[in-house]
Structure 1
């Protein structure tokens, strides 16, 4: 039997949040309790919802060849229909390889001075006592970093304008509803669409940069130049300039909306947890002095960010579609079936995590990642895992370090916000008061 899911319910939240009708995490938890997988209809899409991390790992890793892009993934294709979002798996892998030189671990360390300079410049505009729109500011910072590190060789004013336009696009993308009546309203022909306008504004300027490229050597060695000069065996260009824009828009937007959401949650938690803030500041000071490591057993900063992404994974729901009949959890699943899983639910499962709703970075001192299968997937796993993970780790730490060096952010009395599971899982209307350190 298939259960139908009404997308309006309350999401579990932190004290002080105002719960509004959103995607029904609590209802999903109830429906899936005691089930490794269950057939459901989610927002009109018939699907098999998977709660078991062992089965999720099978979908993403050991049997990934049997699964293609599902209905939820297709909603992202308004950004691009080429490159990494192509239906063609060969093309997808090809464009992962093209961007890899700019995002791999051995490269991202080169971006550290630029990242620090950008964040310091952005937060220098804050003033003591300001009420900071955290989501908006994190979008501006993440987008300035993405443009400043990956699109190089442009005049400074063009780089700044590209960052601001990308920030407007990222802000609209974060708030794009995936489910229910709100999603249908924004998709209607003729409906006001700020997302489309923001995308066009950013894309138009990007197209101007490509049409009249700078002569700086850095440009010819950059990400956009790599896309523009990509050729087939006969020497023919693979992508048109318009398709290069589509691919760049997709990649840059994907990179920034997730970072902005994670950082917003991190600053929210720090504003309410003085002990965590004290420990984090001490650890960041030590790491600045040369003690940086990504080993979660020795770094409170890494454990802190891991716990933020456990409780608030930006990519909170995923979907695959079976390409052939598969067996999953002793059930035969026909070809063409949408298979849905939620990292939010996986990350808060009490079988994998004691006291799963509690914020506790030190849980990672005892949790062995290799033994919890796919119970922790903030960046995904397998061949479709986030290619920008090394870049994201450095960026998150730099933003966290510079912001907390300069400012202490406090909650606004009587100002409430809510958890919003839309394109990303983000805190909507999170405002904090800035005070200098």
Structure 2
């Protein structure tokens, strides 16, 4: 455990305050208190805090966060400070071994690069239409649950091609149950401690077991029929060394696929839920977005491209205010110096994209939803002030897939339906595995 901040020279004496280290508690329940975080960190580039009973250093400076993730990333490994953050897999892309991580990142790349993702668009549109066609005018829809179902079906049907239709459907349904339980898994505080007790997480365990059971059966079928293919899953099974020896066992391929498919759904489902909610709160934003989507859909000459596209600016602003991966942890692999402060090996370093994205020095009036701020605001190359997908060698490999999926879902849903919440209903933020709305019931009406 680290000593007091002053005794290790982490902060100048004049920055100390009574009661250090600060403690991030869920004093009012299981909700992580963002206001508490802000007050503890105000004016500090670094501050030692106790998180879930573990000493850590919270990093608020975006330049120092970039140092951790990019400039000196070799000095920092994965942190596992939070009870939630037990990886679904420790093989493949989530391996501690950097060489193995790069290898499986390259293996996934052909299915995630922008040119390939564009080929998925017709399938994505069909999936979204199939689900939204079951909505009924005036009948409430649990938007988060629906977004889980849609994103899971999209991922299975695009990345795991060649499976029998009934298998594809069953995999999508089981993955959606797993994704929904993952989204709601507590990350911090007493709720996370309770969830870690034996038997407490039975819904998540059952959902994961059911999905893995069917996925394992798919893998067995593929191994018995070498001529069959199933996209990304087949690529995992075919991966071999120079002598033709398979690198992943069937169990390892299953774990890697579970990781990839879950990561590709839980974050997108949360972001899409926020996007539809935000759209329902501002008619002027909705009007501009619908016009831009119509232009993009028609492929009309001269429609906005890049950062000038209102659709892109809208989604960038949603991701700024509601980054799904809202807090992260790294661990110093050796003695390091960060921002002029020495840190011993094993130090947990925590940073929050939620706070980085709401820094008033970078984003004037940071709580205001304003897509037009991106007309003049440029992403900094020297800091990490905007990292909804992470940055550096461990940044999200599925970013092109996510952007495309978000736009397709947004386009298809808004083309057919206008969604609204009950007047006066306040949607609460739930910072759990992802940053998602606590409960989001919306009522669809035909356009």
Fold similarity call, TM over 0.5? yes
Note if 1:306 corresponds to 2:324: no
Match of 1:237 among 226, 229, 246: 246
Match of 1:8 among 26, 34, 51: 26
Q: Which moved more, 1:278-287 or 1:71-80?
A: 71-80
Q: Deviations over 1:399-432 (max 9, x none)?
A: 0000000100011235443200000000011101
Q: How many residues align?
A: 427
Q: TM-score, normalised by structure 1?
A: 0.94
CA distance in 2, matches of 1:414, 1:39: 40
8 Å contact from structure 1 (residues 261, 314) kept in 2: yes
CA distance in 2, matches of 1:127, 1:3: 53
Distance 1:436 1:219, change over 3 A: farther
CA distance in 2, matches of 1:233, 1:216: 23
Name the structure 2 match of 1:15. Answer: none
CA distance in 1, matches of 2:202, 2:328: 24
Q: Deviations over 1:359-403 (max 9, x none)?
A: 000000110113572100000011010000001000000000000
Note if 1:321 corresponds to 2:331: yes
8 Å contact from structure 1 (residues 43, 180) kept in 2: yes
CA distance in 2, matches of 1:133, 1:38: 40
Note if 1:386 corresponds to 2:396: yes
Aligned runs of 1:189-268 on 2, under 5 Å? 189-213=198-222, 220=229, 222-268=231-277
SS of residue matched to 1:369: coil
CA distance in 2, matches of 1:193, 1:127: 33
Note if 1:37 corresponds to 2:49: no
CA distance in 1, matches of 2:425, 2:180: 21
8 Å contact from structure 2 (residues 22, 40) kept in 1: no
Alpha-carbon RMSD across the aligned residues, in angstroms, is 1.9
Match of 1:426 among 411, 415, 436: 436
TM superposition shift of 1:164: 0.7
Match of 1:295 among 300, 306, 311: 306
Note if 1:362 corresponds to 2:380: no
Q: Deviations over 1:114-158 (max 9, x none)?
A: 000000011000000110101000000000000000011011111
8 Å contact from structure 2 (residues 163, 230) kept in 1: no
8 Å contact from structure 2 (residues 152, 172) kept in 1: yes
Distance 1:294 1:374, change over 3 A: farther
8 Å contact from structure 1 (residues 7, 22) kept in 2: no
SS of residue matched to 1:135: helix
Q: Which moved more, 1:259-268 or 1:41-50?
A: 41-50
TM superposition shift of 1:93: 1.0
Q: Deviations over 1:271-318 (max 9, x none)?
A: 11111111000000001111576611x200000000000000000001
Q: Which moved more, 1:107-116 or 1:215-224?
A: 215-224
CA distance in 1, matches of 2:421, 2:84: 35
Q: TM-score, normalised by structure 2?
A: 0.92
CA distance in 1, matches of 2:278, 2:186: 24
Q: Deviations over 1:165-217 (max 9, x none)?
A: 10000000000001111111111123352001000111101111111139999
Name the structure 2 match of 1:353. Answer: 363
CA distance in 2, matches of 1:117, 1:157: 17
CA distance in 1, matches of 2:365, 2:427: 24
8 Å contact from structure 1 (residues 415, 431) kept in 2: no
Match of 1:58 among 60, 67, 74: 67
Distance 1:218 1:233, change over 3 A: closer
CA distance in 1, matches of 2:305, 2:53: 42
Name the structure 2 match of 1:403. Answer: 413
8 Å contact from structure 2 (residues 46, 60) kept in 1: yes
CA distance in 2, matches of 1:3, 1:366: 39
Name the structure 2 match of 1:155. Answer: 164
TM superposition shift of 1:75: 4.4
Note if 1:332 corresponds to 2:342: yes
SS of residue matched to 1:370: coil
8 Å contact from structure 2 (residues 30, 189) kept in 1: no
Note if 1:120 corresponds to 2:138: no
Give structure 2 stretches of 5+ with no counterpart.
Answer: 6-19
8 Å contact from structure 2 (residues 91, 252) kept in 1: yes
CA distance in 2, matches of 1:403, 1:109: 19
SS of residue matched to 2:299: helix
CA distance in 2, matches of 1:318, 1:193: 25
